[in-house]
Chains A and B, each alone.
Chain A
């Protein structure tokens, strides 16, 4: 820290907080010095990393390993030692299909229905999410009255738990919900949103966009605000029409942020579970059943709990997410460079 940036020494010396910090630091001084003598200066880096590595190992890497082992074993027992090794049978079972385009022809038809629904959901959600977030960011980037208020309003749903979001919309959309109340009041007939497959998927996408759009709007807004204002003034002097400003200046300069948003939306969409599960329960039938819901039900909700099959499906999904995350990191690094 620079001289000017640090607080005056007198204040630091006198504050209670600093005395407490100094006392704690004093207590740690001796053991730390002892550890440093034992492991050397370079080794200290690993000492400081150790707690985090342990935490990650215990709650991330170990479960991945157990999951992998689960996917290669059979039976209904939860303990690995009691489960017989069956190799790639679960994977083969999941991939066994007459045609991958027709989930009904697959041995694990619900898995493939989940894949198909997740793909549809992802595609619709990506277009709707990026489109809405972009338009909202463009509007909020203008000097409009109450801009701060609107920025907060659009961000608030992001703070809500997915279950709360889904419950709110369930109350609005159910047979005797708010929306149907309004429709009947206007003289229309009630629509059974959760009974018609098309409507159910539409609302699953809509609610997801409503809940998360604020976050992506924020990323895009940050990108828009990083575009120097004088570029727009130069464009104005150059006689550029607004649509051309958007397509030739704003969007190309926003492109790195847009790509980050696209990949993040993609990853989130593939992972979708809680909101849609609470909202539609995957129904009607399997119309909004997502892959993650299939994994959850196969492992925990079905009468016969097939941990191995669920683990194999989650390994496949995990591989896809890993690839997408690598893509996102690559893009982010390229942007930073």
Chain B
């Protein structure tokens, strides 16, 4: 049974259409991540699900009940805000207990639930403190505790890690994954960080300009992007794109004819196409087995690996990952080979061409 069903969701702010025709089903217990660039509508979609924004079209069903017209409080959801939204004048205990007091639960049960959440989130020592006396990570845990304690139908997270430093983000990310494994609730998580999306999600929803571009498991999106947008958005550094035409020998020929490249085997393609290959699937090689040569413009050494940024003979930018510690120098001409099994092909409309 689907925990959440969105059908034809549309949302406009005046003349600006922020969401258009969103259809999505989220199963109970799933961890779904909405990802997309700034302004793609991911946070608005989350707020629409929460009931903090009204839809202008479509229906929202939670556990088979139509909640489209219901207020946020009636939907039984909990949300963790980007800014944490902790009540600054209340202690950690009061912050966590506040929603339970609203529900008029018996004091003993409130106490038990708060203590349980505090233990789970390692907040027991801070229950008497005000949010102002906590670190960013602790505040984030209080915000999560406030959601957990209510035992909601769905947890909603709106970029909850974006205010944390890099180290704390990784640690909190692990905690969230652990939390999902422990309590098993349905979680919907918004982020613009694809690493968060890839590491946390059961399924990722890629949004662009108010539409869903693709829904799938992290590896699905990485290995089988549905279109140029998803191919470019998932993966870091982003996928290389080389525009051209399918030539008479079944190879890609760039517009100026200076570069010819192999096409993915077994695909029937013709006319204008875009070839896609991720930096990790292009490798420096000997001149004899090269598919192309790149003029290196920049080398990024990350220790375990290096990235070479350069251009093909026709000027198309190409990035590749080199496992060597001292791979090449700026200005060098490096022969490279494309992994034929990892090539992606997109038609003139930008849609993936598949066998």
B302 interface residue per 8 A CB criterion: no
Which interface class (under 10, 10 to 19, 20 to 34, 35 or more) fits B?
20 to 34
Residue-by-residue, is A219-240 near B (CB-CB < 8 Å gives 1, otherwise 0)? 0000000001011011111111
> Which chain B residues (63-94) contact chain A, with CB distance < 8 Å?
71-74, 77-79, 81-83, 85-89
B126 beta carbon closer than 8 Å to chain A:
no
Residues of B within 8 A of A228 (CB): 83, 85
B243 → chain A closest CB, angstroms: 39
B102, A238: Cβ atoms closer than 8 Å: yes
Contact of B87 among A231, A233, A236 (CB under 8 A): A231
Task: Report whether B73 and A236 are in contact in the complex, using a CB–CB cutoff of 8 Å.
Answer: yes
> Is A244 engaged at the interface, CB distance under 8 Å to the other chain?
yes
Given known contacts A228-B83, A230-B83, A244-B102, A237 and B78 CB-to-CB distance under 8 angstroms:
yes
Q: Which of A230, A248, A252 contacts B85 (CB under 8 A)?
A: A230
Best-surrounded residue of A233, A236, A238, A249 (most CB of chain B within 10 A): A238
A253 CB–B CB distance under 8 Å: yes
Give chain A residues whose Cβ lies under 8 Å from the Cβ of B103.
239
Q: Are A240 and B73 in contact (CB under 8 A)?
A: yes
| Bound: A206/B99 CA distance, A | 41
Could you say which residues of chain B place their CB within 8 Å of the CB of A253? 88-89
Minimum distance in angstroms from B248 CB to a CB of chain A? 56
Q: Is B50 an interface residue (CB 8 A)?
A: yes
What does the 1/0 interface line of A191-231 toward B look like (CB < 8 Å)? 00000000000000000000000000000000000001011
B99 touches A230 (CB 8 A): no
Q: Is B52 in the interface zone, CB < 8 Å from A?
A: yes
A-B Cβ contacts below 8 A, count: 56
Closest Cβ–Cβ distance, residue A264 to chain B (whole Å): 23
Choose from A231, A237, A244, A248 the contact partner of B79 (Cβ within 8 Å): A237
> Are B102 and A240 in contact, with the CB atoms below 8 A?
yes
> Is A236's CB under 8 angstroms from B83's CB?
no
How many angstroms between the C-alpha atoms of A296 and B350 in the bound complex? 86
Across the two chains, which residue of chain B brings its CB closest to A233?
A: B52
Contact residues in B for A231 (Cβ distance below 8 Å)? 85, 87
Chain B residues with Cβ below 8 Å from A234 are 79, 81, 85-87, 146
Chain A residues lying within 8 Å of B50, measured Cβ to Cβ, are 237
Any B CB within 8 A of the CB of A30: no
Q: With an 8 A cutoff between CB atoms, is A241 at the interface?
A: yes
A240 pairs with B98, CB closer than 8 A = yes
Shortest distance between the CB of B72 and any CB in chain A (Å): 5
Closest to B150 in A: A238
Chain B residue nearest in CB terms to A230: B85
B81–A230 CB distance below 8 A:
yes
Set of chain B residues within 8 Å of A252, measured between Cβ atoms: 89
Determine if A233 and B85 form an interchain contact, defined as CB atoms under 8 angstroms apart.
Answer: yes
Chain A residue total in the interface (Cβ 8 A): 17
| Cβ-closest chain B residue relative to A231 | B85
When C-beta atoms are compared, the residue in chain A nearest to B73 turns out to be A239
- Residue from A236, A238, A241 within 8 A of B98 (CB atoms): A238
Complex-state Cα separation, A236 to B73, whole angstroms: 6
A-contact 0/1 string along B28-60, CB 8 Å cutoff: 000000000000000000000011100000000
B72, A237: Cβ atoms under 8 Å? yes
List of A residues within 8 angstroms of B146 by Cβ: 234, 238
Report B-chain residues with C-beta under 8 Å of the C-beta of A230: 81-83, 85
Cβ-defined contact, A237 with B73, below 8 A? yes
Determine the residue in chain B with the shortest Cβ distance to A238.
B99
User: Are A249 and B87 interface neighbours, CB within 8 A?
Assistant: yes
The interface bits of chain B over 242-272 (1 if a CB of A lies within 8 angstroms of the residue's CB, else 0) are 0000000000000000000000000000000
Expressed in whole angstroms, the Cα–Cα distance for A240 and B146 within the complex equals 14
Measured between beta carbons, the chain B residues less than 8 angstroms from A236 are 51-52, 71-73
A residues near B78, Cβ cutoff 8 Å: 237
Contact call B102/A239, Cβ cutoff below 8 A:
yes
Q: From the candidates B81, B99, B150, name the one contacting A233 in the complex (CB within 8 A).
A: B81
Note all chain B residues with C-beta closer than 8 A to A248.
87, 98
Residues of A within 8 A of B102 (CB): 238-241, 244
Q: How far is the CB of B13 from chain A (nearest CB, A)?
A: 13
| Residues from chain A with Cβ under 8 Å of B150 in the complex | 238
Bound together, the chains give a CA A321 to CA B79 distance in angstroms of 49
Contact (Cβ within 8 A) B83 A237? no
Chain B, 108-163, CB within 8 A of any chain A CB: 146, 150
Chain B nearest CB, measured from A266 CB (Å): 24
Q: How far is the CB of A2 from chain B (nearest CB, A)?
A: 25
Q: What's the least CB distance linking A179 to chain B, in Å?
A: 44
Considering the complex, which residues of chain A in the window 249-265 have a beta carbon less than 8 Å from any beta carbon of chain B? 249, 252-253
The CA-CA distance from A248 to B102 in the complex, in Å, is 11
Q: Which residues of B contact A244 (CB under 8 A)?
A: 102
| Chain A 61-91 near chain B by CB (<8 Å), digits 1 or 0 | 0000000000000000000000000000000
CA of A249 to CA of B98, assembled, Å: 11
Q: Could you tell me the distance in whole angstroms from the C-beta of A248 to the nearest C-beta in chain B?
A: 8
CB-CB under 8 A from B79, the residues of chain A are 233-234, 237
Question: Nearest 4 CB-CB pairs, A to B?
Answer: A239-B73, A238-B99, A234-B85, A230-B85
Seen from chain B, the residues whose Cβ lies within 8 Å of a Cβ on chain A are 50-52, 71-74, 77-79, 81-83, 85-89, 98-99, 102-103, 146, 150
Q: Could you give 24 example pairs across A and B, Cβ below 8 Å?
A: A228-B83, A230-B82, A230-B83, A231-B85, A233-B85, A234-B79, A234-B81, A234-B85, A234-B86, A235-B98, A236-B72, A237-B77, A237-B79, A238-B73, A238-B99, A238-B102, A239-B73, A240-B98, A240-B102, A248-B87, A248-B98, A249-B87, A252-B89, A253-B89
Given A233-B79, A237-B52; 9 other pairs, CB 8 A cutoff: A234-B79, A237-B77, A237-B99, A238-B102, A239-B74, A240-B98, A248-B98, A252-B89, A253-B88
